[in-house]
Structure 1
Amino acid sequence: MTAAVEFRGVSVHYGQTCALAPLDLSVARGETLALLGPSGSGKSTALKALAGFVRPSAGRVLLEGRDVTDVPPHLRGLGVVVQSYALFPHMRVDDNVAFGLKARKTPRAEIAARVSEVLNLVGMGDYARRFPRELSGGQQQRVAIARALAIRPDVLLLDEPLSALDATLREDMIAELLRLRAELPDTTLIYVTHDQSEALALADRIAVMRDARLVETGPSEQLYHRPSTEFTAAFLGASNLIPVEVIRAGTVRLGGRELAAEPMGEFGAGQAVALGVRPHRVGVHPGTGAYTARLRGVQWRGSGFRLDLDLELGGEPCPVRAEVPSVDGLPAVGETVGVSIPDGCPLVAVGGTG
């Protein structure tokens, strides 16, 4: 089946600066893909190259198998929602939503019906005659999404759409986007974010980016539970990376004890490897445990505690973070606690560029 979106060796340079290294990536029709990475990772540049806002230095961009590299943005038929919403302040909500339809010379009667349809879809049907300044941030975001959907795009691009919202509104908008996804199963969504929780909640598949390059891509659940690179393990879920020695396939040694591990590739002799252990999987016990750690810091997070520990393995202390709902008899900072590490954590290579 022809991909809805395809990047073929797409790169973007500004003088000597590489904003996007050659990117090969395809997105299936109806799929939601998150481009996830820190600032400067190239994710927004990739989206702009797809939308036609920047011209690739090399490579080709395809939509439904059609090369659109040289096609101007307004002729690509994409819906785009940007971080700033970009609503016209002098236009009422319905005129903002109708803007793209009027530019395409859609018949007036059809415009009215389409505007009503998409405003109701995003729960803004009662706000059609208001100006953007009369709306909350979340409401403005809904209008921006309605405007993008009004042209009935096959592909909807969202560039950091929730970053300007507070935490509560962000959660509400994630729920709205999930509902929209269910309402529009044939629409392909490409979602740019630096927020791992947004990516995990919304995406079928995540493409992790760093330093203008694609690091790793895969189904969201797979990347979270079984990342194959050090960067993905640390960035997506903040895994502790605990150095271990591979004994045999599926077994490692940590501090004189053997643990079962889930290998995510083949590791050569002498290769530096680590166990990727999510903070919520680190067990902390007063007194003794399988391992000993010194408590370096405690933060109460409302639903539980975040503990910063120095795991004592016989050499240099290994920093480890734990997230626990409660700790009975929590010792003071500087004292020791028992720590347990579960079997079945993923094994990842460390020290590379990924």
Structure 2
Amino acid sequence: MSAPAVELRGVSVHFGRTVALRELDLTVGRGEALALLGPSGSGKSTALKAVAGFVRPHTGRVLLSGEDVTDLPPHRRGLGVVVQNYALFPHMRVADNVAFGLRARRMPRRQVEERVSEVLSMVGMADYRRRFPRELSGGQQQRVAIARALAIRPPVLLLDEPLSALDAALREEMLAELLRLRGELPDTALVYVTHDQGEALALADRIAVMRDARLVEVGPTDQLYHRPRTEFTASFLGAANLLPVEVVAAPGDGPATVRLAGAEFRAEPTGGPVAAGARAALGVRPHRVEVRTDGGMPARLLAVQWRGTGFRLDLELDGGTPLRAEVSSVDGLPPVGARVGVSIPDGCPLVTTGAGG
């Protein structure tokens, strides 16, 4: 079995007295796409910079394909890097920007021209090779930055918030472009830093959720979305309601029974065994909450927001627990301030209160 494309072993990064990354252990396989997901200041960009060689770990080691590169400078690691502001050379035309890394490696001129044409075609920019960056849109500049990173045929492609400077339509377009490129580069490992859960879910095979310079949880995208082990992952990835519940019964090897606002539900423990009588949190995605005029748990409708594709409802259960729902229509619902009924399905994830905090 070949060595992983990227390994971070106990990597910590300090900036003065500030700990930007704390004892991170993480592996990225050959051909795998891993998203580093978290809020600002969580340490995700610092982790990527440690892989790239832009910052040196205070402790720990960085390995690429099994080789310790902790002390190697960035230009000797052979990685492709795309940053948020594109970092194109303004005085160079598109073709020269893309060729920069190849020429630095003293590749023969004919091979440089062939490789530049190849990657520009790959990102749909073959007709723009003579233009300067200032003559391109934001999305086109991003494509050139990706082409430049791919030109050296890196085993690992690092992307640091590559779509955050684009408007919504361009972000969707570039996300589709990155998905297409993944299909064309099956052996290239991809590490993608983002705070956008939609990008992470669409692009990654696995997601590493980070908070306060630490790794909170890592796993396959569908596992983290449907069965998060921590409260933080449940709330950050998918904006789940975290409803405080009491565990009524917990057989240990199957669903637990929990009580909320006088009603009982079956829930799936995801953060380890829970004991009867324990306090825990039920993670309920807003789109799984049913709101109707009668039946179910009593609640009060506090606010209604139209979100384009549907409506977001802010509710409050008896006892003061807030609850958010997403529905396609509000036809038939009473006005804001009125009482409604709420239903929550069985099988929602159950995490121990405080996990991941």
Q: TM-score, normalised by structure 1?
A: 0.97
Which sits farther off after the overlay, 343-352 or 132-141? 343-352
Percent of residue pairs bearing the same amino acid type: 76
Alignment partner, residue 158 of structure 2: 157
* DSSP-derived class of the 1:332 partner: coil
From 275, 295, 302, the equivalent of 2:282 is 275
* CA distance in structure 1 between the aligned counterparts of 2:188 and 2:295, rounded to whole angstroms: 51
**CA shift for structure 1 position 290:** 1.3
Q: How does 1:107-118 map to 2 (within 5 A)?
A: 107-118=108-119
**CA shift for structure 1 position 179:** 0.1
Alignment partner, residue 330 of structure 2: 327
Alignment partner, residue 292 of structure 1: 298
* CA distance in structure 1 between the aligned counterparts of 2:213 and 2:116, rounded to whole angstroms: 38
* DSSP-derived class of the 2:165 partner: coil
* DSSP-derived class of the 1:247 partner: strand
- Alpha carbon RMSD of aligned pairs, Å? 1.0
Q: In the comparison of the two structures, how many residue pairs are matched?
A: 350
Task: Confirm or deny: 8 A CA contact 1:31 1:187 kept in the other structure.
Answer: yes
* DSSP-derived class of the 1:60 partner: strand
Alignment partner, residue 340 of structure 2: 337
Task: Confirm or deny: 8 A CA contact 1:284 1:327 kept in the other structure.
Answer: no
* CA distance in structure 2 between the aligned counterparts of 1:255 and 1:47, rounded to whole angstroms: 44
* CA distance in structure 2 between the aligned counterparts of 1:64 and 1:49, rounded to whole angstroms: 15
**Which runs of 5 or more structure 1 residues have no equivalent in the other structure?**
none
* CA distance in structure 2 between the aligned counterparts of 1:27 and 1:152, rounded to whole angstroms: 18
Alignment partner, residue 53 of structure 1: 54
Q: TM-score, normalised by structure 2?
A: 0.96
Alignment partner, residue 22 of structure 1: 23
**CA shift for structure 1 position 270:** 4.7
Alignment partner, residue 92 of structure 1: 93
Alignment partner, residue 262 of structure 2: 256
Which sits farther off after the overlay, 46-55 or 270-279? 270-279
Task: Confirm or deny: 8 A CA contact 1:272 1:351 kept in the other structure.
Answer: no
* CA distance in structure 2 between the aligned counterparts of 1:268 and 1:325, rounded to whole angstroms: 37
Alignment partner, residue 205 of structure 1: 206
**CA shift for structure 1 position 353:** 4.7
Paired amino acid for 2:290: G
Deviation sequence 1:262-298 (CA, Å, 0-9, x none) = 1112124554211100000000102x22101111111
Deviation sequence 1:171-222 (CA, Å, 0-9, x none) = 0011000000000000000000000000000000000000000000000011
* DSSP-derived class of the 1:161 partner: coil
**CA shift for structure 1 position 152:** 0.3
* CA distance in structure 2 between the aligned counterparts of 1:254 and 1:319, rounded to whole angstroms: 12
* DSSP-derived class of the 1:333 partner: coil
Alignment partner, residue 313 of structure 2: 307
**Which runs of 5 or more structure 2 residues have no equivalent in the other structure?**
none
* CA distance in structure 1 between the aligned counterparts of 2:133 and 2:45, rounded to whole angstroms: 25
Deviation sequence 1:229-264 (CA, Å, 0-9, x none) = 000000000000111111223121222222111111
Query: 1:240 aligned to 2:235?
Result: no
